[in-house]
A and B are shown apart, each in its own frame.
Chain A
Amino acid sequence: MLLLAGRRLASMLLIMIVISILLFLAFEGDKLALAGRVLGQYTTMEGKLHWIEENGYNRPLVVRYISWLYGFFTGDWKISAQYNRPVLEFLAPRLANTAILGLCVFIITAVISLILGVLAGVNEGGLRDRVISVISVITTSFPEFASGTFLVAIFVFWLDWLPGSSSFTNGFSVKELVLPVTVLVIFNFGYYTRMTRASMAEVMTSQYVRTAILKGLPPRSVVVKHALRNALIAPFTVMILQLNYLLSGIVVTEVFFAYDGFAKAMYDAALFGDTYVVSACAMVAVFVAVLSQFISDVGYTYLNPRIRFA
C-alpha cells in the first residue's frame, strides 16, 4: 500500500518535472520573443538584448530552467507586466477566490450526482432511471457560457434577483456566487451522474448482489452494505480525476461572470501577453491537476481491497 503510494508519488513527480520543462520551454525557450512579450512589441532590438543580458537570460538553458523552477518553489514568481506587481502577491487572493468557487461546485456536484446516480442505477430501466438519465444528458449539453446566458437572461435581466457580475467589488457575497456555481454544476453533474448510474447498475446485476439477495438480506442492506461501496469506488475516483475539466470550465465561468479568480487572471494575462502571470497560473493549475490525480489513485487503491491486499 505504502509502496504503491510511493510509486505513484514518483511518477507524479516525473510528470510534474516534464510538464514544468514543457512550460518553461513554451514560455521562456525563445528569449527574444519573451523579451518582446515582457517589454512590449515596440521595444527596439537593443532594448531587448539589454534586457536579456540584464536578467540573466544569456545563461545556458539548463541553468535558467533550474533557477526558474527554484524561483517558482520559493515564491519568486517575477513581476506582472500588466499590473507591475509581484505575481504571487497579485495571484494569492484570486487563487483563494477560485478555491471557494471550485470547492462549492465540487461538493455540490458530488452530492447531487452520487445521489441521483445511485437512485437511477439501483433500478435500471425504471421510470426514475429514465428521467434522471435524460435530465443528465440534457444538462451536460449546456456549456457554461450557454447556460450562463440563459440564467442571466432570466434571473438578472428579467427577474432581477441576482447580480449579473460576480466581481466581489463590495467584498465577498454569497449572492454573487450563486450563478457561477449553478452554471458549473449544471454542466458537470450530468457526466458524474451517468457514471455513477452505470457503475451502480453494473454492481446491481453482479453475482454478489444476487448472492446477497438470495441470502435473504433486507433490500436496504443489500443496497447499502453490498452494492453501494463497490459502486462508488469508480465514480468517486473519477470525480477527483476530472477536477481538470472542472478547472477548464472555471476559466469560462470566471470570464463570463467577471469573477475575480485566478482563472480569469490567467485569461486576461494571456490576452495581454503577461507571460509571467500566465506561466505561474499554468504551473499552479497543472500542479493542482496532478495532485488530484495522485489523490484519486491513492484513494482508489485504498477503497479497493483487491489492490490494497494484493
Chain B
Amino acid sequence: MTVTSVPATEMPKRRPLLLRILKSITLLRESYVGMFGAVLVLFWLVMAVGADLFPLRDPLAQSAPDLLKPALSLAPDGTTYWLGTDDKGRDILSRLIFGSRLVLFWSVLATVVAYAVGMLLGVMAGYRGGWWDEVISFIGNVFLSFPPMVLFLVILTNFGPTSSMGQYIGSLGVGSTVVSGVIIIVAITFGTAPQVARIVRGLVLDLKTRDYIAAAEVRGESPLYIMLVELLPNARGPLIVDACLRLGYVIIAIAVLGFLSLGLPPPEPDWGKMIAEVRGFGAMASNAMIWPAMAISSLVLGLNLLADALREISLRD
C-alpha cells in the first residue's frame, strides 16, 4: 500500500468528457495489438457510416453476364469488380461495405438491448439479494442451459417471421427486414442478457460490501439511487471490456443466423448470408465466400483485440 501524495497546490482541473475519452483512447498507444484492433474497428465504422459517400455500385444491382467473377475482374462498363461478383452478378465490395452498415447497426442494437436488460436484472439480483436473486438467477440459469443456437432455432421456428408473432409485427406496417431484425434482437437478448446479468451480479455482490454503499444506505438513499449511481458506475471497467467481447459474439451470432438463412431476409447484403448464398457453387464460389468471411473475422478480431488491450490497461492501475 502506497500513500499517494498530491501536493495541495497542484489542482487537476476537470476536463470535459470528450477530452477524457480521447485521453483514454490514447492510452491504447502503449499496446500495438490494441491499436491494431482499434484501427480494424474504426475502419468498419467508417465504412458503415460513409457507405453512401464512396463511389460504389448499387449493392443490390444484379448483372446477368457477370456471375461469380473473381476479384479484380473487369465489368462490361470498363470499371473493375475489385473483389469480384456473387452468383447474381452483384458487386461484392459494395455488398460488403453496405453490409457492414447492416451488421453494425443490428449487432450494436442487439447488444445494447441485451446489455440494458442484463444489467438491470444483474444489479437487482446482486443488490436486492434474497428472493429477487433466487428468481432472477433461476430464470437466467434456465436460459443459460440452452445452447444459444438451439435457443435461436427454437425461438425462430416458433416465433419467426412466419409465426403469428412475426405476422403481428409485420402487420404494424414495418418492412420485413425490421421484422426479422426485431426477432433477432429478441432471440439474442434471451441468449445474452442472462450472461450479462450473471457478470453484473457478481460485480455487484463484491461492490455492495464496500463501505461507501453502507454510507449511502445510512444517509437514506433509495435502492434505485444506490443501484444506478453508487453501484453501476464502479462496475463499468469490466463491463466495457465485456461489452466489446460480447459485441463480437453478437456479430458472429447474427452472421451465423444469416448463414443459416434465419437472419435478415434477402436481398439484404448480410455477410453470413452472402456466404450461404454462393456455397452451392463449390470451388467456383471460393472468391465470393472468402471476402465476407474475412470481413466478419476482421471486425470480430478488431473487437477482441480492443477488449484485450482495454483489459490490460484497466488491470494496470
Asked if B142 and A15 make an inter-chain contact with CB atoms under 8 angstroms apart, the answer reads: yes
Asked if B282 and A164 make an inter-chain contact with CB atoms under 8 angstroms apart, the answer reads: yes
Of A82-90, A144-152, A172-180, the one with at least 4 CB within 8 A of chain B: A144-152
Chain B interface helix/strand/loop/mixed: helix
B149 at the interface (CB under 8 A from A): yes
B70 at the interface (CB under 8 A from A): no
B99 at the interface (CB under 8 A from A): no
Asked if A248 and B163 make an inter-chain contact with CB atoms under 8 angstroms apart, the answer reads: no
Q: How far is the CA of A149 from the CA of B147 in the complex (A)?
A: 23
Question: What 1/0 flags go to B234-273 for Cβ under 8 Å of A?
Answer: 0000000000000010001001100111000000000010
Given A18-B142, A289-B145, A290-B145, CB of A150 within 8 Å of CB of B290: yes
Given A138-B301, A145-B272, CB of A251 within 8 Å of CB of B145: no
Question: What 1/0 flags go to A16-52 for Cβ under 8 Å of B?
Answer: 0011001100110010010000000000000000000
Asked if A146 and B164 make an inter-chain contact with CB atoms under 8 angstroms apart, the answer reads: no
Asked if B145 and A286 make an inter-chain contact with CB atoms under 8 angstroms apart, the answer reads: yes
A27: B residues at CB distance < 8 A: 158
Asked if A281 and B150 make an inter-chain contact with CB atoms under 8 angstroms apart, the answer reads: yes
Q: How far is the CA of A304 from the CA of B296 in the complex (A)?
A: 40
Please indicate which of the listed interface residues A144, A146, A266 has the most CB atoms of chain B within 10 Å of its own CB. Answer: A146
Chain A residue nearest to B147 (CB atoms) is A247
* Closest beta carbon of chain A to B110's beta carbon, Å: 16
Asked if B293 and A150 make an inter-chain contact with CB atoms under 8 angstroms apart, the answer reads: yes
Asked if A22 and B157 make an inter-chain contact with CB atoms under 8 angstroms apart, the answer reads: no
Asked if B301 and A149 make an inter-chain contact with CB atoms under 8 angstroms apart, the answer reads: no
Asked if B147 and A244 make an inter-chain contact with CB atoms under 8 angstroms apart, the answer reads: yes
Please indicate which of the listed interface residues B158, B163, B164 has the most CB atoms of chain A within 10 Å of its own CB. Answer: B158
B308 at the interface (CB under 8 A from A): yes
B305: A residues at CB distance < 8 A: 137
A247: B residues at CB distance < 8 A: 147, 149-150
Chain B residue nearest to A26 (CB atoms) is B158
Given A137-B308, A153-B290, A270-B153, CB of A143 within 8 Å of CB of B297: yes
B261: A residues at CB distance < 8 A: 271
**Count of chain B residues near A, Cβ 8 A:** 43
A70 at the interface (CB under 8 A from B): no
A5 at the interface (CB under 8 A from B): no
Q: How far is the CA of A78 from the CA of B304 in the complex (A)?
A: 44
Asked if B259 and A252 make an inter-chain contact with CB atoms under 8 angstroms apart, the answer reads: yes
Please indicate which of the listed interface residues A14, A245, A263, A286 has the most CB atoms of chain B within 10 Å of its own CB. Answer: A286
Given A244-B146, A255-B260, A293-B145, CB of A33 within 8 Å of CB of B164: yes
Contact among A18, A140, A143, A270 with B156 in the assembled complex (CB-CB below 8 Å) = A270
Contact among B148, B153, B252, B286 with A143 in the assembled complex (CB-CB below 8 Å) = B252
Asked if A143 and B256 make an inter-chain contact with CB atoms under 8 angstroms apart, the answer reads: yes
Asked if B297 and A267 make an inter-chain contact with CB atoms under 8 angstroms apart, the answer reads: no
Asked if A248 and B150 make an inter-chain contact with CB atoms under 8 angstroms apart, the answer reads: yes
Contact among A15, A152, A282 with B154 in the assembled complex (CB-CB below 8 Å) = A282
Asked if A137 and B153 make an inter-chain contact with CB atoms under 8 angstroms apart, the answer reads: no
Restricting to A246-270, which residues have a CB under 8 Å from any CB of B?
A: 246-249, 251-252, 255-256, 263, 266-267, 270
Contact among B33, B142, B148, B158 with A244 in the assembled complex (CB-CB below 8 Å) = B148
Please indicate which of the listed interface residues B138, B150, B297 has the most CB atoms of chain A within 10 Å of its own CB. Answer: B150
Contact among A157, A248, A256, A263 with B282 in the assembled complex (CB-CB below 8 Å) = A157
Query: How many residue pairs bridge A and B at CB < 8 Å?
Result: 130
B141 at the interface (CB under 8 A from A): yes
B178 at the interface (CB under 8 A from A): no
B114 at the interface (CB under 8 A from A): no
Asked if B293 and A145 make an inter-chain contact with CB atoms under 8 angstroms apart, the answer reads: yes
B255: A residues at CB distance < 8 A: 143, 145
Question: What 1/0 flags go to B129-166 for Cβ under 8 Å of A?
Answer: 00000000010011011111110011011110001100
Asked if B293 and A252 make an inter-chain contact with CB atoms under 8 angstroms apart, the answer reads: no
Contact among A26, A138, A149, A285 with B293 in the assembled complex (CB-CB below 8 Å) = A149
Q: How far is the CA of A19 from the CA of B138 in the complex (A)?
A: 11
A157: B residues at CB distance < 8 A: 282-283, 286
Given A157-B283, A252-B259, CB of A278 within 8 Å of CB of B157: yes
Q: How far is the CA of A46 from the CA of B286 in the complex (A)?
A: 50
Question: What 1/0 flags go to B71-85 for Cβ under 8 Å of A?
Answer: 000000000000000
Asked if A143 and B146 make an inter-chain contact with CB atoms under 8 angstroms apart, the answer reads: no
Asked if B153 and A251 make an inter-chain contact with CB atoms under 8 angstroms apart, the answer reads: yes
Restricting to A219-264, which residues have a CB under 8 Å from any CB of B?
A: 244-249, 251-252, 255-256, 263
Contact among A149, A267, A281 with B260 in the assembled complex (CB-CB below 8 Å) = A267
Given A146-B296, A281-B150, 15 new contacts (CB under 8 A): A15-B141, A26-B154, A142-B297, A143-B256, A143-B297, A144-B256, A145-B256, A147-B293, A156-B283, A248-B149, A252-B149, A278-B153, A285-B146, A285-B147, A290-B145
A–B Cβ pairs within 8 angstroms, 18 of them:
A15-B138, A22-B142, A27-B158, A33-B163, A143-B255, A146-B275, A156-B283, A164-B282, A247-B147, A249-B149, A252-B260, A255-B259, A266-B150, A278-B153, A278-B154, A285-B147, A289-B145, A289-B146
Q: Which residues of B contact A (CB under 8 A)?
A: 33, 138, 141-142, 144-150, 153-154, 156-159, 163-164, 248, 252, 255-256, 259-261, 272, 275, 282-283, 286, 289-290, 293-294, 296-298, 300-301, 304-305, 308
Q: Which residues of A contact B (CB under 8 A)?
A: 14-15, 18-19, 22-23, 26-27, 30, 33, 133-134, 137-138, 140-147, 149-150, 152-153, 156-157, 164, 244-249, 251-252, 255-256, 263, 266-267, 270-271, 273, 275, 278, 281-282, 285-286, 289-290, 293
